[in-house]
């Protein structure tokens, strides 16, 4: 990846202000939302990589890219904002966010839905992927960030 600055993942739907430890919008941890502007480019890249990896995993569990160049072309033609340095599974999620209800043939966009999820509309599928992405981010936070105070309740 070129040494470019990492754009904020904020999508303007922050839930950390109402007490969530993981933002329902961008999936960053509350302290990452608060301190984003003070992070170095490398720190931002680490966060961006984690988020892209989680999203890619959630999408790849339900969709398969059949033609990466067609997908890239459609993103350009449709003028869909996406991060070029992310993988194609993140790209297809950007496409679904921009217009899942307007896609009649997924083949025309270079992807197909896994057989187990074809009964869902693309809007429902997008919402399910987003919900799983939040669960994965929350689980990561709970496992690696929210460390209980081991000394709480002890007296000397």
Q: Residue 59, SS3?
A: helix
Q: What is the pLDDT of residues 65-123, one digit of tens each?
A: 999 999 999 999 999 999 999 999 999 999 999 999 999 999 999 999 999 999 999 99
Using 50, 70 and 90 to split pLDDT, how confident is the model at 1? very low
Q: Please tell me the distance from the alpha carbon of residue 53 to that of residue 87, in angstroms, as a whole number.
A: 9
- How does residue 5 score in pLDDT terms, banded at 50, 70 and 90? confident
Extents of the domains making up the chain: 16-141
């Amino acid at each position: 990846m070129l040494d470019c600055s990492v754009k904020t993942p904020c999508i303007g739907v922050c839930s950390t202000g109402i007490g969530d430890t993981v933002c329902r919008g961008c999936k960053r941890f509350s302290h990452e939302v608060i301190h984003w502007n003070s992070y170095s480019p490398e720190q931002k890249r680490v966060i961006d990589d984690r988020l892209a990896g989680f999203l890619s995993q959630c999408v790849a569990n339900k969709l398969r890219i059949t033609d990466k160049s067609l997908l890239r072309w459609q993103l350009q033609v449709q003028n869909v904002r996406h991060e070029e340095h992310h993988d194609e599974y993140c790209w297809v999620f950007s496409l679904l966010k921009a217009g899942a209800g307007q896609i009649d043939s997924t083949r025309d966009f270079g992807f197909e839905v896994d057989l187990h999820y074809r009964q869902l509309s693309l809007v429902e599928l997008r919402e399910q992927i987003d919900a799983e992405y939040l669960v994965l981010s929350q689980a990561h936070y709970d496992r690696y960030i929210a460390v209980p105070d081991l000394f709480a309740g002890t007296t000397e």
